[in-house]
Amino acid sequence: MRARHGTAQAAAPEFPTRPIRILASEAGGGNDAAIRLIAQNLTASMGQPVIVENRGGGSLAGEAVAKSPADGHTLLYYGNTFWLLPLMRSNVGYDVERDFAPIVLATRQYSVLAVHPSLPVRSVKELIALARARPGELNYSSAATGTVNHLSAELFKSLAHINVVRISYKGIVSALNALMSGEVQLMFPGASSVTWHVRIGRVKALAITSPQPSPASRICRQWRVPGCRTTG
C-alpha cells in the first residue's frame, strides 16, 4: 500500500462485496444445469452467494446484464445465441463488444439430430429420403430465432436439399417437449438436454453434429442406436 502526504490510501474492498448474480437462459435446459454446478463451486470459493437467475430464451438475459452496473457482480452465462442474435435481429438491446467482456469458455457440447420414435427412420440417410418424399410435411422444433438448434436445422435443410417446416417455441425445454409429444418430428437439441430422453426411448438419436470425430461420439455407442453416427 502506497502512502501520499503521510496518509495511507484507503484499500479498495476485496471483490466480491455482495452476492453475485449469474443470468442464464431458460430453466431446465443443459446450460441451466451446467451453470448451477458452476455456481455451487463459486459460492464455496468466493465467500459470497452466487445466484443463478433464469431469464428465458432470446436476448432477455443479455439485455438485463448490459443494463446492470459494470462492477462484476452481475454476470452472463449463455451459448452461441448471445452473439448470433445481433447478427440476425435489429432490435437486440445490447452490443456484444461494447457491453461485455469475456471471462472464460465454460462448457462445450454438440447437438444431436433427434427424431420422434414414431418416425420410420433409423439413419440420417433414411430421414433425408423420407423428407424428400414428403416435402413440407415434416416439422422441426426450435427455440428463438438464432439459437443453435434453429441454425443447425436450417443448415441441415440446406445441405440435404429438403423442405421441413420450422415450429418455433419459447425455449429449448418447450421445443424438446414438442418433439417428445409428437407435435414435431425432429429437432437439434444439445446433447446434455436430450441424453436421458434418448436412453429411455422418448426420442431417437440419429447423429451428433461434429466437424470431426470426437470423444462425444461414444454417446452413439452408449445409446446403441442403429445408424447413429457423428456428422459434420
21 grid coordinates = 448474480
pLDDT recorded at residue 7: 44
9 grid coordinates = 490510501
pLDDT recorded at residue 212: 64
167 grid coordinates = 415450429
Domain-embedded: residue 154: yes
pLDDT recorded at residue 59: 82
Q: How many domains does the chain have?
A: 2
Are 86 and 34 within one domain? yes
CATH number at 46 reads 3.40.190.150
Domain-embedded: residue 14: no
Q: In which domain, by residue range, is 207 found?
A: 112-231
* Residue 167 contacts residue 140 (beta carbons within 8 Å): yes
Amino acid letter at 161? H
Q: What pTM, to 2 d.p., does this model score?
A: 0.76
Are 179 and 82 within one domain? no
| C-alpha angle 154-159-163 in degrees, rounded to nearest 5 | 55
Q: Of 76, 99, 122, which residue sits at a domain end?
A: 99
The partner residues of 229 in beta bridges, in order of sequence, read: 207
Q: Of 64, 99, 134, which residue sits at a domain end?
A: 99
CATH number at 146 reads 3.40.190.10
The H or E element containing residue 177 is helix 172-181
| Size of the chain in residues | 232
Are 191 and 166 within one domain? yes
Extract the residue ranges of the chain whose pLDDT is less than 70. 1-12, 212-232
pLDDT recorded at residue 4: 40
What is the rounded CA–CA span in Å between residue 2 and residue 8?
7
